[in-house]
Structure 1
Amino acid sequence: MVIRPSSLRSKFLRKHRKWPTSAYSYKWQQTFIQNQALQTLKQSAAATPQEKENNDRPHHLFSAHVHSFTSYNCDPTPEAYHFVIKTLAKTSQVHHIPRVLDRIEFAEKFETPEYILAQLIKIYGFAGRIGDAIDLFCRIPKFRCVPSVYSLNSLLYVLCRSSESLKLVPEMLLKCQVMNIRLEVSSFRVLITALCRIGKIGYAIQMLNYMINDGYGLDARCCSLILSSLCEEKDLALSNFEVLSFLEAIKKMGFTPSMMDYSDVIRFLVKEGRGLDALDALCQMKVEGIKPDIVCYTMVLHGIIAKGDYGKADELFDELLVLGLVPDVYTYNVYINGLCKQNNVEAGLNMISSMEELGCKPNLITYNLLLKAVNKIGEISQAKELMTKMNLKGVGVNSQTYRIMLDGLFHKGDVDEACVLMEEILDKQLC
């Protein structure tokens, strides 16, 4: 025989004379009461002026926490303790937090959410209490919480903020093995970022190898970070040897460089006087389907001109125009510098007209480059006309402009005019 639910409900009513209470209804009521208690705590947590003067805020806050939940006849929630901890941290009362932690550990029964403890580890770290951060990480199981890589990363982030505390990382990595916490990609990122920041690029590369050997795939963010750090490395012997070889090694493992990665490499190669290698990197970008931007072309153009390969420079400038890239004033300045180095002053002067037609306004560097080239070939009158044109265009001269003109006048032997120009420099206080 099938017993209907209505029959069971009628039987319960005859026996108990009241409606049955569902577990869902009880849980909802309990949650509502606890939320009310938390709101009461937040309202009473605001210290009065007298309490602030007496520095009694921690005692007031903790008493309010206990009283608010006792008055509602319910147990404190993890969110309530989280609010107390955040408030103490915000009011620079971190030294009172251990009292709160002791109550969570010994008086409460709930399972403490890991995010509360992970955030507290960072609070301790930012307050310079590294020892307390490590101690809290090791005590996590006592708060009825299973530690994971989430809290480990918080601790690693704290330890990696300074070279002194970074020395404690190996010990904590051994500790996390005892606690059955396995490093994840996010953990390796924290460590590699810290090593790159303090210039330990070799160790960062080793850490990347450990990550791969540990069964994780190649992480693009870590590769880009190490590559960028290598390009900024001040040890030229290390960086010259490593940059291109490291790039080739990670490409073989499946890394696909981005526009930014190639920009870093090109900038490094140009800075080291390896303009032709920078041109090869630019060509490799195009082979891999990455369209170089005007910044990449400008850097390579600068590197090629510095090597004196003006034929390749002309080809490269024509190429960027064919690709539809719009040269900016930096690109034009680099190209004009190449023309001036070839004593092709006329072509350089014509470039000013081309710039203006395309809406690119020549700047002071543009005119100074041309003035230097014009004075070098002894065309003082043309240099004066160019300087007059500068003033008409609203391009203000600087001390370098006057030095260029003085060099030209002395080279020509026009000492009287040089003295007049020197008086003008003194009047403008440009010495």
Structure 2
Amino acid sequence: MVRNPLSDSSNKYLRKFRKWPHSPYKTFWHHNFGQHQAMQILVQAATATSPLPSSNDNLNMPSLLSTLIHSFKTYNCDPTPNAYYFLIKTLSRTSRLHEIPLVLDQLERVEKFETPEFMFGYLIRDYGRAGKFQEAIDLFYRIPKFRCVPTICSLNLLLSVLCRNRECLKLVPLILLKSRGMNIRIEESTFGVLIKGLCRYNRVGYAIEMLYCMIEDGYHLDDKICSLIVSSFCDQNDLTFKEALGVWGDMKKFGFCPRMMDYSNLIRFLGKKEKGRDAMGILNQMKEDGIKPDIVCYTMVLSAVVAEGNYVKAHELFDELLVLGLVPDIYTYNVYINCLCKEDNVEEALKMVSSMEDLGCNSNVVTYNTLLASLCEAGELSRARGLLKEMKMKRIELNLHTYRIMLDGLVCKAEITEACSLLDEMLEKCLYPRSSTIYNIIYEMCQKGLVTEALELMEKFSAKSFPPGARAWEALLLNSGAKLSYSEAILADLVKAN
């Protein structure tokens, strides 16, 4: 016999042993379903308002916070952290940061769940992007009120935001002090954030002090941070070469393992200071650490050694890089040719030009300028003219430095006619000589009785809106005698006055 499931005995049995199923509205499944449906309503409301973030109609629409509260209340469930996170992201993305304080008040005073820290990190970053630095600081201090324990992650994010603004750097020390009261202990990552911010705004000295504080606190040196400091003080030239080498040595002593780029930066820094011997020392350290220097490193060291005047060591370096199998480029050849010219060994320099071109490395304007300067200084104008013709045959464009070298050489030998011809060529290219060169040319022209030609030359400069300088007019007036007409003298006085 089949028992009626709705009989009195069965009902008594179920009531007695509490086997009657719970209401479906109290199940875990339905709770999740309700939250999901409420979330869908919120997403639809956000989608409807997000396309018009700058429209005036958007201000009249119902607040998304009201939509969140109503939707979850409709399905008899509590709002979730993800719902608030979605709301904050939507308001931030649609440039409605003015509505976020209401959301935070609701989150602090009404909700009971533990708010995830990543929500505040997202908002701090967006406040920073919008330039609302004080709001970001206030939110950081307010994190414990949201039933959330702030960690180093929030602190680092806030410091990173502040360090991107020069004016906010002065607020960092106070925040670090207050973070101690929030039981946040500064870690290695925090030092990294601070050092990056200081280097960004050329505060390399403070960054180095921060590095030493990091060492004193027993933290391990991060190679990226050390590389950043090396790159910063090499680019900004705030340190002397002794201070730079001292910092470099301390970092290596405490575990810094430099890479090729770090060595290159330091060698470039020493090259700017013309400290060839110290650059050689860094090059040797590089080889001792098992890093093979490339041709760029050798070229920079070679340039520093030449600038220091140690030509014997320069020859040794050039031979060494060839033995190591490195292929010199045009920059290496130009440095070595400059070394030969400084030794007054122009013949060897010319042979080097021929050899490099045979090896497929074509000379450039820097190569010829170096040779021209050496020949003009030695008074060998005929050979300099030959090099100038060679440049034009090779279609190497003459630059301002080329013309100035040749002009000074011609004026030194009183070759005024040729100098004026070269000067006309310069003016056609809108290239202008030094004022001292113009003065010398005008003076020599007046000494040779070429006053009218000198005045014509001055008029050419005036036509090009290039002021030849007061000394040139003075030379023209003082050396012309009575050959200037009254009107020309008046013109000269006016130009000199201007």
Q: TM-score per shorter chain, which class?
A: 0.7 to 0.9
Deviations 1:354-413 (A, max 9, x none): 333443332221221122223233333332332222223222112221222222222333
Partner of 2:484: none
Shift of 1:71: 5.5
Cα distance between partner residues in 2 of 1:262 and 1:48: 53
Amino acid across the alignment from 2:277: L
Partner of 2:282: 281
Residue 36 in structure 1 maps to residue 26 in structure 2: no
Mapping of residues 151-190 of structure 1, within 5 Å = 151-190=154-193
Stretch of structure 1 that moved more, 97-106 or 201-210: 201-210
Amino acid across the alignment from 1:345: V
Question: Relative contact order, CA 8 A, sep 6+: which one is greater?
Answer: 1
The runs of 5 or more residues in structure 2 that have no matched partner are 1-13, 433-498
Partner of 1:294: 295
Partner of 2:465: none
Shift of 1:277: 1.0
TM-score (norm 1): 0.85
Change in Cα spacing, 1:24 to 1:420, as seen in structure 2 (3 Å) is same
Contact persistence 1:45–1:64 (CA under 8 A): no
Which of residues 186, 195, 198 is equivalent to 1:195?
198
Shift of 1:101: 0.9
Q: Secondary structure at the match of 2:55?
A: helix
Residue 409 in structure 1 maps to residue 413 in structure 2: no
Stretch of structure 1 that moved more, 143-152 or 249-258: 249-258
Cα distance between partner residues in 2 of 1:356 and 1:258: 33
Partner of 1:128: 131
Cα distance between partner residues in 2 of 1:80 and 1:134: 24
Amino acid across the alignment from 1:306: A
Deviations 1:253-278 (A, max 9, x none): 22222222222221222212211111
Amino acid across the alignment from 1:393: K
Partner of 2:367: 366
Cα distance between partner residues in 2 of 1:203 and 1:423: 54
Contact persistence 1:37–1:69 (CA under 8 A): no
* Pairwise CA RMSD: 3.1
Deviations 1:271-325 (A, max 9, x none): 1221111111111111111111222111111111112211211111121122222
Cα distance between partner residues in 2 of 1:231 and 1:321: 28
Deviations 1:218-275 (A, max 9, x none): 2223333333333345445xx3342112222222222222222222221222212211
Q: Secondary structure at the match of 1:397?
A: coil
Partner of 2:223: 220
Cα distance between partner residues in 2 of 1:360 and 1:78: 66
Contact persistence 2:198–2:206 (CA under 8 A): yes
Partner of 1:119: 122
Contact persistence 2:199–2:207 (CA under 8 A): yes
Contact persistence 2:25–2:31 (CA under 8 A): no
The runs of 5 or more residues in structure 1 that have no matched partner are 1-10
Which of residues 49, 52, 55 is equivalent to 2:55?
52
Contact persistence 2:46–2:90 (CA under 8 A): no
Cα distance between partner residues in 1 of 2:22 and 2:64: 41
Amino acid across the alignment from 1:352: V
Contact persistence 2:195–2:211 (CA under 8 A): yes
Cα distance between partner residues in 1 of 2:334 and 2:60: 63
Amino acid across the alignment from 1:80: A
Cα distance between partner residues in 1 of 2:60 and 2:90: 10
Contact persistence 1:58–1:88 (CA under 8 A): no
Partner of 1:249: 250
Contact persistence 2:144–2:150 (CA under 8 A): yes
Amino acid across the alignment from 1:335: Y
Change in Cα spacing, 1:423 to 1:207, as seen in structure 2 (3 Å) is closer
Contact persistence 1:47–1:57 (CA under 8 A): no
Residue 101 in structure 1 maps to residue 91 in structure 2: no
Q: Secondary structure at the match of 1:167?
A: helix
Contact persistence 2:34–2:72 (CA under 8 A): no
Identical positions, percent = 54
Q: Secondary structure at the match of 1:151?
A: helix
Change in Cα spacing, 1:23 to 1:261, as seen in structure 2 (3 Å) is farther
Residue 229 in structure 1 maps to residue 232 in structure 2: yes
Cα distance between partner residues in 1 of 2:109 and 2:250: 54
Partner of 1:7: none
TM-score (norm 2): 0.75
Partner of 1:5: none
Which of residues 63, 76, 81 is equivalent to 1:78?
81
Shift of 1:419: 2.2
Partner of 1:209: 212
Amino acid across the alignment from 1:336: I
Change in Cα spacing, 1:21 to 1:318, as seen in structure 2 (3 Å) is farther
Cα distance between partner residues in 1 of 2:32 and 2:64: 27
Cα distance between partner residues in 1 of 2:157 and 2:127: 11
Cα distance between partner residues in 1 of 2:384 and 2:26: 95
Amino acid across the alignment from 1:46: S
Cα distance between partner residues in 1 of 2:392 and 2:215: 61
Cα distance between partner residues in 2 of 1:315 and 1:92: 65
Contact persistence 2:35–2:79 (CA under 8 A): no
Contact persistence 2:42–2:64 (CA under 8 A): no
Residue 333 in structure 1 maps to residue 340 in structure 2: no
Contact persistence 1:58–1:96 (CA under 8 A): no
Partner of 2:496: none
Contact persistence 1:274–1:303 (CA under 8 A): yes
Stretch of structure 1 that moved more, 188-197 or 274-283: 188-197
Change in Cα spacing, 1:19 to 1:299, as seen in structure 2 (3 Å) is same
Residue 319 in structure 1 maps to residue 320 in structure 2: yes
